[in-house]
Structure 1
Amino acid sequence: MRSYELMYILQPELTPEAIEAIKERIKGIITNTGGEFEQEADGWGKRRLAYEINDYREGYYVVWYFKGQPETVTELDRVMKISETFLRHMILRLDEQ
C-alpha cells in the first residue's frame, strides 16, 4: 500500500455534526477499499480562503494521512467531485521512506 495525504475544504456553514458525518463517510471509503486511516493533522479548522471559491470566502480545512491502493484514491476523488459540500480537494502520494 502507498501513503497519501488528503486535504479537502468544506463549506463554512456546515454544522459540527455534518462535518463529523462527512469525516466518517470519508473514513468509511478509505477502509472499505482496503486502506488504513493513519492520522488527522491538527490545527486547521475554519480559515479564510486566499481567493473566493464558489462565492465562499471561508472554508473548513481537513488534512489526513492514510495508506491505500490506487482504487482508494479513485473512489475518494469521484465522491468529492460530485458532492457540493467539498469546495476543493487534493490527494498527494507521499514518498516511501
Structure 2
Amino acid sequence: MNKYEAMVIVKPSLSDEDKKKLFQQIDDVVTKNSGQISQSGVWAEKRKFYFPINKFMEGIYYLAAFTAPPEAIKEIRSIYKLNENILRVLFTRMDA
C-alpha cells in the first residue's frame, strides 16, 4: 500500500448539497478500491485558473490523502474521469 494525494478540481457552479454529495463520492471511490482515506477536504473555494478548463475560469479544489494499492489508482482515475462534475484530477505518490 502506497500513500497518495489526489487533487480534484470540480465545477464551481455546483450547489452546496451537490458539492457534499460529490465529495462523498470522491472518498467512496477510494474506499471501494481497497483504499483508506486519511484526510480530505476543500483546499480552495473557487480559485481562478490561468486558462479555461472545459469553459470554466475557476474551480473548487478538493484534496484527499489516502493509502491504496498501486493498481487501484488506474481504476480510481478512470471513475473520476467519467464524472462530468470533475474538471481535472492529479494523483501524487507521497514518500513513505
- Fold similarity call, TM over 0.5: yes
Paired position in structure 1 for 2:44: 44
* 8 A contact 1:33–1:71 mirrored in 2: no
Q: How many residues are aligned here?
A: 96
Q: How far apart, CA to CA, are the structure 2 residues paired with 1:78 and 1:11?
A: 18
Correspondence list, 1:9-48, <5 A: 9-40=9-40, 43-48=43-48
The amino acid that maps onto 2:10 is L
Higher strand share: 2
User: What is the match of residue 89 of structure 2?
Assistant: 89
Matches of 1:46 and 1:82, distance apart in 2: 22
Runs of 4+, deviation exceeding 2 Å: 40-43
Quick one: percent identity of the two aligned structures?
30
CA gap of 1:72–1:17, structure 2 versus 1, over 3 A, is: farther
Q: Which stretch of the first structure deviates more once superposed, 1-10 or 73-82?
A: 73-82
Shift of 1:70: 2.1
TM-score by structure 1 length?
0.89
Q: Which amino acid in structure 2 is aligned with residue 78 of structure 1?
A: S
Residue 42 (structure 1) shift:
5.8
Unaligned runs of 5+ in 2: none
Cα distance 1:43–1:83, how it changes in 2: closer, same or farther (>3 A)?
closer
RMSD: 1.5
TM-score by length of 2: 0.89
Greater shift, 60-69 or 23-32, is seen at 23-32
Cα shift at 1:72: 2.7
